[in-house]
């Protein structure tokens, strides 16, 4: 089954200086005057094989929870996965068109970890599509989640490139606000410390470490993400960025 309604009219867009672009719903097909843009990048390198289905379930639970929110019609979500490269599971589409069960079997694991490339693409896509919407008089803010179980080992971009993208998102005069969260899944010790350093160097707003990548932990992550999305949407128009407590 498709992740989203295949009849949704989409346009593919390029990102300057990147091999990877993104897709987004055509503006004439949108029914609201304001949107929170959510980009989720999920690691699918070989090391996540043991909890691949939990990641898929987590994505579906985020969608299911957000569909029940009062501002679901003002949410658009994009999901990409990454190993040595980037695969867009779907571009920015109105959240009510997403099927929570559509992620099952979609995360194909294997390969290395292009973490920096994925972070850069996720953030840059929010800035690019947000600017497009704002130029057409939509009110827009953004939220980026990146889920990984390890450090970068293959990207063509750098941590400094990710920082520049996040800085651009923060400085953007067209985005009402943007919030970025890096999540270490199934990490501890040296790996978690390395991801924490990368989070600080790149300018992420928050870093969340989850030591055990089991069904219960990923379910809590889905609740955390959906609450964060709901609060960021509620903050739209205030110029403020809002997420829930990082207690996990």
Domains of the chain: 10-234 (3.40.50.410)
116 near 85, Cβ under 8 Å?
Answer: no
pLDDT at 2: 82
Coil, helix or strand for 171?
helix
The structure tokens 């070989």 sit at: 46
pLDDT at 248: 56
**Cα–Cα distance, 152 to 133 (Å, whole number):** 32
pTM of the shown model:
0.97
The string over 5-37, giving b where at least 16 C-beta atoms fall within 10 Å of a residue's C-beta and e elsewhere, is: eeebebeeeebeebebbbbbbeeeebeeebbbb
Helix (H) or strand (E) holding 189: helix 189-202
**Can you give the pLDDT of all 248 residues of the chain as single tens digits?**
689 888 889 999 999 878 899 999 999 999 999 999 999 999 999 999 999 999 999 999 999 999 999 999 999 999 999 999 999 999 999 999 999 999 999 999 999 999 999 999 999 999 999 999 999 999 999 999 999 999 999 999 999 999 999 999 999 988 999 999 999 999 999 999 999 999 999 999 999 999 999 999 999 999 999 999 999 999 998 888 766 565 65
């Amino acid at each position: 089954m498709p992740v989203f309604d295949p009849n949704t009219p989409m346009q593919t867009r390029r990102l300057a200086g990147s091999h990877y672009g993104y897709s987004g719903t055509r503006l004439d097909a949108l029914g609201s005057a304001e949107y929170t843009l959510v980009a989720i990048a999920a690691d699918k390198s070989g090391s996540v094989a043991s909890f691949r289905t939990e990641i898929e379930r987590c994505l579906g639970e985020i969608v299911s929870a957000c569909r029940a929110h009062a501002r679901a019609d003002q949410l658009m979500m994009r999901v990409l996965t990454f190993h040595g490269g980037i695969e867009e599971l779907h571009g920015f589409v109105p959240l009510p068109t997403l099927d929570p069960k559509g992620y099952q079997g979609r995360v194909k694991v294997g390969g290395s970890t292009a973490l920096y490339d994925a972070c850069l693409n996720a953030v840059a896509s929010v800035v690019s599509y947000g600017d497009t919407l704002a130029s057409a008089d939509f009110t827009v803010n953004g939220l980026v989640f990146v889920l990984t179980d390890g450090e970068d080992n293959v990207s063509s971009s750098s941590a400094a490139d990710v920082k520049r993208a996040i800085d651009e998102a923060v400085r953007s005069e067209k985005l009402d606000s943007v919030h970025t969260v890096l999540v270490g899944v199934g990490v501890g010790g040296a790996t978690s410390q390395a991801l924490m350093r990368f989070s600080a160097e790149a300018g992420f707003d928050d870093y969340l470490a989850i030591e055990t990548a089991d069904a219960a932990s990923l379910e809590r992550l889905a609740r955390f993400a959906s609450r964060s999305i709901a609060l960021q949407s509620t903050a739209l128009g205030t110029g403020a960025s809002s997420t829930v407590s990082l207690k996990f």
